Amino acid sequence: MNIINAKNLIRLSLFLIPLYLIKFYLFGLPFNIPEVLIMAAFLFWLLDNKNFSWGVFYKENKKIIAGIFIMFLGIVISALINPNQPAEWGIIKSWFIIPLILSFIVLNEVKNKKDAENIFRAVYFSAVTVSFIGLIYFLQGNLTYDFRLKAFYLSPNHLAMFLSPAVFIGNYFIISRTKINAWHSIKECAEIIFLCLSQVAVLLALYLTYSYGAWLALILSLFMVGLITGKNKTGKKMKIAFALAIIFLAISFTQLNNPKFMQSFEWQAASRSSLASRIMIWQSAEKILKDNFLWGIGPGNFQSEYLEYQKYFSPYLEWAVPQPHNLYLAFWLQGGILGLVGFLYLIFHWLKRVIKIIVNKALPKNNFKEIALALLGIMLYILIHGITDTPYWKNDLAIIFWTVFSLGVVSIKWKENKYI
């Protein structure tokens, strides 16, 4: 079997997501390594699926396609009627078109639980690798001015948003591997120990970011997953997840004497806290939105508009603000009302059907239920953290979002007897 195929290229692109920071030009256009791998995967997929029925694919996924079309239409219209179009088309290419291509391949290549777990492994071990690199940064004292870990990312929050989904994937692997019959060999024991140590590395690196928004979103999403699962058998396996949430909450209490933690609750501008800064950013975004309610300002234009609107407010606490620190404002401002509506429709449709899988007690054991549980946790984390930050509008985060989304759709199709 040829090892260079669509499945392996997608897994490699997911493992190498952090290399999006290394950019180069092809035919005069900017690209990065994960993007090239995704496009190569699509080319291999096309060559291997010459008789693919696009009509059947549309029929099976027409609701999702409708949502994507509405969202994408809003973003394109917003880009066309606003300036800075070269940057806008670059964002559309890197944060929407290529992640959607990856999503399409995942949707058609993941045929069973093993395939889904391989996708999980690529994402998880990418985060584990970044965590170990981050810990090396920490040991070398290579931190921000306020002693937070950001490694090679632009900010500690960016690092935290990349690592957080791995917590749910790590939970999935640890829970699935610690069943009673999983301790029969040295190899199995070594795998479980390695998974636990790697999860500790991810949690430690995440802790060192001191990204309170990520911490809180992680705890709340774990808690919500536990509530949704209720008392069914799958829910019992979330005890480990709850234990992790409790540990994370206990760690949060260690920050009570940290000035940054105490300032986080001060919303007055004079405090210059992250909360005060976000409130000012949201007020400016609200003013921009009122003046661009229907079509928005176009992808990638928030920074310039934000600076332009400074005249309406007191001196800004933060000047370098490429995104409005809110996922929903980001979609509305940069994709217009259509972009927001399309995105919310996709989320509602996805959540409704994935939750049905999780609470369905009739599904057999060997299915996507536990995978769907991890996917739900990641999606809830994105949506909750999206209240105070933008865990989508970035190359790696967009790829993770659409990977999670497409795996959720695969889980839905399995439930509907597509994969038996």
65-84: average pLDDT: 92
- Phi and psi angles of residue 225, each rounded to the nearest 5 degrees, phi first: -60, -40
Which pTM does this prediction carry? 0.90
What does 263-284 look like in DSSP terms, one character per residue? Answer: HTT--SGGG--HHHHHHHHHHH
Q: Is the pLDDT reported for residue 268 higher than 80?
A: no
Looking at residue 76, its pLDDT comes to 94
Looking at residue 271, its pLDDT comes to 47
Residues 6+ apart with CB under 8 A from 177: 188, 191, 192, 195
Distance CA 174, CA 225 (A): 17
Lowest mean pLDDT among 163-172, 228-237, 245-254: 228-237
Collapsing DSSP states into helix, strand and coil, what is residue 30? strand
In a domain, 313, yes or no: no
Lowest mean pLDDT among 232-236, 395-399, 405-409: 232-236
Tens digits of per-residue pLDDT, 4-35?
Answer: 899 999 999 999 999 999 988 877 778 899 99
103-118: average pLDDT: 93
Q: Is the pLDDT reported for residue 120 higher than 60?
A: yes
In a domain, 327, yes or no: yes
- Residue 161 in contact with residue 213, Cβ under 8 Å? no
Looking at residue 269, its pLDDT comes to 47
Residue 369 lies in domain:
6-263+322-415
340-344: average pLDDT: 97
| Most confident residue range from 120-129, 213-222, 306-315, 352-361 | 120-129
In a domain, 241, yes or no: yes
What single DSSP character describes residue 18?
Answer: G
Q: Is the pLDDT reported for residue 372 higher than 80?
A: yes
In a domain, 297, yes or no: no
Q: Is the pLDDT reported for residue 255 higher than 70?
A: no
Q: Is the pLDDT reported for residue 229 higher than 80?
A: no
Distance CA 378, CA 412 (A): 16
In a domain, 90, yes or no: yes
In a domain, 13, yes or no: yes
In a domain, 295, yes or no: no
Share of the chain above pLDDT 90, in %: 60
In a domain, 289, yes or no: no
257-280: average pLDDT: 63
Q: Is the pLDDT reported for residue 69 higher than 50?
A: yes
Lowest mean pLDDT among 51-65, 141-155, 253-267, 368-382: 253-267
The number of distinct structural domains making up the chain is 1
pLDDT band at 256 (very low <50, low <70, confident <90, very high): low
